[in-house]
Structure 1
Amino acid sequence: MSQWKQIQQLEIRLLEQVDYLYDDNFPMDIRQGLASWIESQDWDTAVNDESMAGVLFTNLLTQLERVRSQEQNFLQRHNMKIIQQQLQLKYATNPAVMARVISTCLREERRILSSACMQEQGPLEKSLQNSVAFERQKNMDNRVGIIRGSVQLMDQAVKYIEDMQDDFDFRYKTLQSRESTDRNSDVMKQEVTRLQEMLNRLDFKRKEILSKMDVVIKEIDDLMTSQLNPELQDWKRRQQIAAIGGPLLTGLEQLQSWFTLTAQSLFQIKRQLDKLGELVVKVTYESDPIPLQKPQMEERVKYLIYHLIKSSFVVEKQPCMPTHPQKPLIIKTGVQFTTKVRLLVKLPEVDYQLKVKTTFDKDLPPGRVSRQFFILTNNTKVMDIEDYSNGCLSVEFRHLQLKEKKYINGTKGNEGLLSVTEELHSLSFEACFTVQGLTIDLETCSLPLVVISNVSQLPGGWASVMWYNLLTDEPRNLAFFGNPPRASWSQLSEVLSWQFSTFAGRGLNKEQLTMLGEKLFGQHASCSDYQVSWSKFSKENIPGKPFSFWMWLDSILELIKKHLLPVWNENYIMGFVSKEMERALLKDKEPGTFLLRFSESHLGGITFTWVEHGDNGEVKFNSVEPYTKNRLSALPFADIIRDYKVISDGVVPENPLKFLYPDIPKDEAFGRLYNSQPSKVHPYIPSTLIPISEMRSNASTTPRSCQSPEPPMTPGEFDMLNEHLCFDIDTMSSPYSE
């Protein structure tokens, strides 16, 4: 079943999450109409390959035109034509952006499908869903709308006062222009009385508008303090979680709308106060409320504008190397990385270009880190208005690059206790501009970064990024790993499952997470609230092994991503079962029943174990030497399952693998994944790579080391192989017990 068909069968709660993925950047109409074609393309690779992205973009437009030409509904054909035109305008000059958008949508679909397979959501995802509750957003929309309505009404009130004052001013000046002999007449007395009444009315209206302004200003102040700032902090927290594989980050456009509407209200109030100041110049009197209240109100409005705009300066995209788009916040020296900042407030006209400067490790205390870096490339760019951002300013730095500072005599000076991947750094962004008489200094910073100098440090760096963003919402706690807190297994297991859904297309189910918990804590540990230390997760070696838990798990992720993806996504790999559990599962099964699990003794290895029954009722288990990335590069894993043979004491080789656990016939399970056979019309005699195991009579009692060389074949064995099959000697392996 295609991914899109699975999506359509989800419950409404999850379909609402899917709905967030699609907008003008990638309309759902395209996803629906080209579902099969879209899922068959390699969008992940195209993200970093401009030429491939260009080909896919052209092909997508061709596919869309084909579907449009076959559409019978006139309105639908019209809509698809509009979509085609929008895509051409948006992505023609940068098709890699389109590839990134589609890649992200497909990945998030897989994550949502993965969460649907779990019996319940993890604590992090639950808290995130609660934090973006629809009712809360609706309340915020209503409140911002009420404020905007009140400010608009005040505009009308100020205009009414201006008209009333003009009338008063005209009558007053007319009265003054009359002859002095007429001033004691009854008509004059009536006019003076009317002017006094008008002045009283004007005074009342001035006090009324100032009172209303005071109420609205207090309402905006409370809105910013109690709702807008918490919503921004919530978005930043969700950005942290999205960075480590959690739910897709949404809500920036909504935040932008709230910030902009609030700023527009404040700027409008400022103009209204300016207008009242102009009215005072023309007409004032004793106990005039405007000179008494206006200065204080202006200061409050300026203060709110200043802090609203300062807080709206955010990092929209955290620093990330294009070569590793799913592992942000890790920067390798000498490799370009990208980042993007945005101002969430749509400003009135700014009379000069707004330049943003980036600084690495700004104001970092001396001796805080053992390595220091500087930005090698241009670190200043001008903010531009993006069409899709409704006029808000943003700037993307696409070619930043770090270089380590040289030290005198080759010494780095302070050598801390932290490893390279535990040292945290930050990237700061600064700008300054003046708007409507206000000078505003903008500054924000990225989440803490890990800087590596070798790609081998990437797994350790990613462990640090995950741990930090899982356990703290502080934006710049660079001393975090001086005393890192523990994580509960319920938190950590959810994040680990996200890694599999992000990098391998399918997350971990409850049973697999339980197996991982036992791997980390021992079989008898209660995993639910078990506290995991940073050292146990990433630094200490697994007992009896030369690698840590995270290095073992990360190597499995790499193996799945590069060599096992089709088999993994079919849910055929049990994965994390121990040897003891494996035997308990297989002992009562039909001979030839096998299961697939990841090696516990090798980094990045997968093995299969099958069960046999002797004539005397004895149950025998055979485990093949783990297949690692080097061996899987030569032959797809599904073909290995299909063609696997065992040689035993001169007996004709046979495939012992019959049923995938629990009882699925092998070809029924893997048939769709087999490579097609060579064409029969090919002029050459076809050859087939066949994985071979040599089963000696003492193999069951004397396991051979996976590093030891295989003994030479006997002449009889060689003749038999030469007669029955062609194979590549590099694919031979041995049964053994891990």
Structure 2
Amino acid sequence: MSQWEAILRLTGAFQEQALAVYNQEVVPLVVRQCLAVWIESQDWRLAATVQQLANVLFQNLFELLDMQYSRATESKEILEANTIRNFKMKVQTQYQKNPQLLAHLMNELLQTERRIILEYEHTQLQNGQRVQLPMETVQQHKTEQRVNQAKERVALIDQAVKFLEEQQEIFNFRYMTYELQIRQRPTDPLLKKKGQELQLQLNELDKKRRVRMEEILDQIKQLLGLCETLLAFLQQELTDWLQRQRLYCIGADTNTCLKELESWVTKTVEVFFQLKRVLCKLSELSVQVSYEGDPLKIDPPKLQEKLLEMLLCLLQRSFVVHKQPIMIFPFKKPLVLKTSTQFSVGARFLVNLKELRNNMKVSYSIDTDPPDLKGYRRFNLLGPQEKDLEYMQEEGLAVEYKHLTLKEQRAGGGGKGSKGANDNSLSVMEELHIITLKTQFNYGGVQLNIEATTLPFVVISNFSQFVRALASVLWFNLLSTNPKDVTFFSNPPAAPWSLMANALSWQFSYCTNRGLNADQLQMLRKKLCGSVTNEDSVVTWSKFSKENMSRVSFTFWEWFDAVLALVKKHLENIWNDGSVMGFVSRSTEENLLKTMQQGTFLLRFSESMRDGGITCSWVDHHPDGTYVIRSVEPFTKKELFSIPLTEIIRNYQLLTEENIPENPLKYLYPNIPKDEAFGQYYEPRSEATMEYQKYMTRRLIMVSERNVDDAQSSIASGTPQYFPETPQYGTEFFLHDQTEYPTHIAGLEDSMNGMTVGNILINPDSDPMFSHQLTISNEASLDSFNGLNN
């Protein structure tokens, strides 16, 4: 979002302040809006001090106004065309002779806008409101000021040196002319007098030169100090960006945009090269005219050495991997690659100079410095070897390899399969690899070999390893202090719960629009850290991804990732609405439901299903004042693939003791009627209104059957039931896990001339709590049933 868009979003007095700026008629509102992008992309501050830049911007503005006037005229926008024409005439009459004044006014205008927006943002934050304005932070604003200040200072120094160079060239020309004339007319008295005048000029020039050179050298030293501070900040920004990228790779909502950082780096490098040229000019001046103790013979070489050191440091850090390795298909998660499966990786050079486009070639290699670990696999990286750094509209100077593949090098006696029982080397999912991209910088007399490395990634040979590999990527990028440490899992550190909680929440907020709340994280905390936890609780790598959880045969991460996949594929809409409580223990579930009204239910994830499951739990109050918390057998991706959970809740049936079906799910916790909570997601029901329509629409529903022994609040499966509701239109039936239709179903199929009424695959688990069955039903309500025909 541009600064102008931020202005348009202001409200109240702040908007009035912004509009008052344009009432002064520096720039009409129409012009400010139609040229917003161009106006904000120009360096008006520098143009206010540099005549040549001011002239260029003035000419460009004039041409843009011509274009906008023509567009408005062709579109018959009379008022807009008139406003642009009047402003164009004003620019021509008032600023043509002094374009620097116009640049100064434009700079003041943008600074005023920025101040108003920052004040607005500060006020909103004080009121506890979250502001979505794309304005610089205080630190970013300071950096922008430093960069602009450096550009201004080097421009002024450059002008001062040019002035001295011109004076010296004028003197040299006069002196050479005098020498030529004196050789031709050695006795001419006028030439002797001219020689005396030249000597006076030389003395005056020498005097001014001494004073001016000391001033210039002092300014250069101050500028180098400013550049040193700027370099330190840019290095920190690059380090912070890499950390944000690492967190982004594991789901964090962080800003990894490089546009602003690229602008700072490019401008700073331009300052360095301009200052390098200035110092070279000073050295040349000392060759033409010099004297004993001349500072131009002593200081410039030292200053050049310091400048070059800073320049090389910034150039080396400016080559970054902005697109980490990621498979093209089927899993688009970064830093997990499979052998023989294509993946992409991209690098970007933040020094976006036109002269560098297509003049820098990039090559790559893998594991250039492999660790000394037994069984560490080696890979060949296959793909095009060299590509040019090209200018891309949204990505600057970048290169991308889109079709790389990995092939493992086979060595006799090596590999993961040959490890012994007591071998402490890393597993496949803990083995980390790095790709190095290299290029050569050659510009402005500076040559430098530059390289950038990817974040460590995991290489798998089978997609069944993908989930565990993701755990390794998460653990490394969350806890590693060295982004190149491929031996990290030789001794992985434990994760503080505060970091772990954020990482778990990021997994949901990345895939959906909703992260995990404090109650959900508390349940997960107990699973990972035990029932007794405190602020210093930590999670070990083994507990997270290697050891099976209590009473189940899978790890915490495998269960958590399966739940996440279930939500993403089948439950995202109701998860985003907050209708799924999800991570809640059985004891908490009972405490929440026991005081609620009859039929209040909540949705929680099963803790005993490896592939993820979700169940409905509701409270059933008895006449004697006791209560029972009932839970239906968890629904997995198999059931949810056929019927959305909202439809299951809508049509769910429980057979009462009198074998009368009813829906026990009435209120979503705490007291929201289920139709109000889920009605917007219900599938529309069609009505048979046309005479020629022979059949009513069918639908799948879930039916649970109550056990005779209800002591454990369980419902077990019984025999197949036949529901004779409206035989003249159709029949509803449901099937348990059987290989053949019951006799009455087969007869029904025969009576319908061989037309199949339904073909449902049922696979009820052996969970003693409940069983559910897929059912085909017509649109008529089940409430009219008076009994069951067995």
With the shorter chain as reference, the TM-score category is 0.7 to 0.9
Cα distance in 1 between the residues matched to 2:667 and 2:354: 69
In the TM superposition, what whole-angstrom CA distance separates every residue of 1:342-369 from its partner, at most 9, and x where no partner exists? 1101236249731111211122134365
The CA deviation at 1:563 is 1.2
The CA deviation at 1:262 is 0.9
**1:690 maps to which residue?**
701
**2:490 maps to which residue?**
482
**1:151 maps to which residue?**
154
Q: Secondary structure at the match of 1:167?
A: helix
Residue type of the alignment partner of 1:364: P
In the TM superposition, what whole-angstrom CA distance separates every residue of 1:1-50 from its partner, at most 9, and x where no partner exists? xxxxxxx99999xxxxxxxxxxxxxxxx9xxxxxxxxxxxxxxxxxxxxx
Do 1:165 and 1:202's aligned partners in 2 also have CA atoms closer than 8 Å?
A: no
Within 5 Å, give how 1:320-399 maps onto structure 2: 320-323=326-329, 327-347=333-353, 349-350=355-356, 353-367=359-373, 370-389=376-395, 392-399=396-403
**2:261 maps to which residue?**
255
Cα distance in 2 between the residues matched to 1:732 and 1:301: 73
Cα distance in 2 between the residues matched to 1:294 and 1:253: 34
Q: 1:406 to 1:205 in 2, by over 3 A?
A: same
Residue type of the alignment partner of 2:523: M
Structure 1 window deviating more from structure 2 (596-605 vs 210-219): it is 210-219
Q: 1:161 to 1:311 in 2, by over 3 A?
A: same
**1:530 maps to which residue?**
537
Q: 1:272 to 1:731 in 2, by over 3 A?
A: same
Cα distance in 2 between the residues matched to 1:472 and 1:494: 16
Q: Secondary structure at the match of 1:447?
A: coil
In the TM superposition, what whole-angstrom CA distance separates every residue of 1:392-451 from its partner, at most 9, and x where no partner exists? 421011111112222336855666532221111111111123222222101110111011
Do 1:447 and 1:476's aligned partners in 2 also have CA atoms closer than 8 Å?
A: yes
The CA deviation at 1:679 is 4.7
Q: Secondary structure at the match of 1:651?
A: coil
Q: Secondary structure at the match of 2:281?
A: helix
Identity across matched positions, percent = 39
**1:135 maps to which residue?**
138
Over alpha carbons, which structure has the higher Rg?
2
Matched residues, number: 613
Q: Does 1:552 align with 2:559?
A: yes
In the TM superposition, what whole-angstrom CA distance separates every residue of 1:651-709 from its partner, at most 9, and x where no partner exists? 1222121211111112221111111124524543322212111112114348589xxxx
Cα distance in 1 between the residues matched to 2:530 and 2:731: 45
**1:160 maps to which residue?**
163
Do 1:693 and 1:733's aligned partners in 2 also have CA atoms closer than 8 Å?
A: no
Do 2:357 and 2:391's aligned partners in 1 also have CA atoms closer than 8 Å?
A: no
Cα distance in 1 between the residues matched to 2:354 and 2:289: 30
Q: 1:184 to 1:458 in 2, by over 3 A?
A: closer
Q: Secondary structure at the match of 1:140?
A: helix
Aligned pair partner of 1:271 in 273, 277, 296: 277
Q: 1:725 to 1:508 in 2, by over 3 A?
A: farther
Cα distance in 2 between the residues matched to 1:10 and 1:171: 63
**1:403 maps to which residue?**
407
Do 2:581 and 2:604's aligned partners in 1 also have CA atoms closer than 8 Å?
A: yes
Residue type of the alignment partner of 1:600: E
The CA deviation at 1:186 is 6.7
Residue type of the alignment partner of 1:458: F
Residue type of the alignment partner of 1:562: K
The CA deviation at 1:518 is 2.2
Q: 1:272 to 1:409 in 2, by over 3 A?
A: same
Cα distance in 1 between the residues matched to 2:11 and 2:609: 40
Q: Does 1:417 align with 2:420?
A: no
Structure 2's unaligned 5+ residue stretches are: 1-7, 13-32, 34-75, 81-127, 736-760, 771-790
Residue type of the alignment partner of 1:353: N
Cα distance in 1 between the residues matched to 2:604 and 2:432: 36
Do 2:723 and 2:732's aligned partners in 1 also have CA atoms closer than 8 Å?
A: no
**2:47 maps to which residue?**
none
Cα distance in 1 between the residues matched to 2:10 and 2:250: 24
Q: Does 1:567 align with 2:574?
A: yes
Cα distance in 2 between the residues matched to 1:410 and 1:471: 30
Q: Secondary structure at the match of 2:697?
A: coil
Q: 1:250 to 1:326 in 2, by over 3 A?
A: same
Q: Does 1:597 align with 2:604?
A: yes
- TM-score relative to the length of structure 1: 0.76
Residue type of the alignment partner of 1:155: D
In the TM superposition, what whole-angstrom CA distance separates every residue of 1:64-108 from its partner, at most 9, and x where no partner exists? xxxxxxxx99999xxxxxxxxxxxxxxxxxxxxxxxxxxxxxxxx
Do 1:314 and 1:444's aligned partners in 2 also have CA atoms closer than 8 Å?
A: yes
Q: 1:348 to 1:605 in 2, by over 3 A?
A: closer
Q: Secondary structure at the match of 2:432?
A: coil
Do 1:431 and 1:441's aligned partners in 2 also have CA atoms closer than 8 Å?
A: yes
Residue type of the alignment partner of 1:316: H
Q: 1:732 to 1:546 in 2, by over 3 A?
A: closer
Do 1:355 and 1:382's aligned partners in 2 also have CA atoms closer than 8 Å?
A: yes
Do 2:282 and 2:296's aligned partners in 1 also have CA atoms closer than 8 Å?
A: yes
The CA deviation at 1:615 is 2.9
The CA deviation at 1:190 is 5.1
Q: 1:557 to 1:352 in 2, by over 3 A?
A: closer
Q: 1:663 to 1:184 in 2, by over 3 A?
A: closer
Q: Does 1:169 align with 2:175?
A: no
Q: 1:629 to 1:251 in 2, by over 3 A?
A: closer
Do 2:508 and 2:515's aligned partners in 1 also have CA atoms closer than 8 Å?
A: yes
Q: 1:247 to 1:173 in 2, by over 3 A?
A: same
Structure 1 window deviating more from structure 2 (513-522 vs 157-166): it is 513-522
Structure 1 window deviating more from structure 2 (310-319 vs 289-298): it is 289-298
Aligned pair partner of 1:457 in 462, 465, 474: 465
Aligned pair partner of 1:609 in 617, 630, 646: 617
Do 1:624 and 1:736's aligned partners in 2 also have CA atoms closer than 8 Å?
A: no
Residue type of the alignment partner of 1:406: R
Q: 1:424 to 1:191 in 2, by over 3 A?
A: closer
Cα RMSD of the aligned pairs, angstroms, is: 3.4
Q: Secondary structure at the match of 1:691?
A: strand
Q: 1:683 to 1:152 in 2, by over 3 A?
A: farther
Residue type of the alignment partner of 2:350: L
Structure 1's unaligned 5+ residue stretches are: 1-7, 13-28, 30-71, 77-119
Cα distance in 2 between the residues matched to 1:351 and 1:256: 15
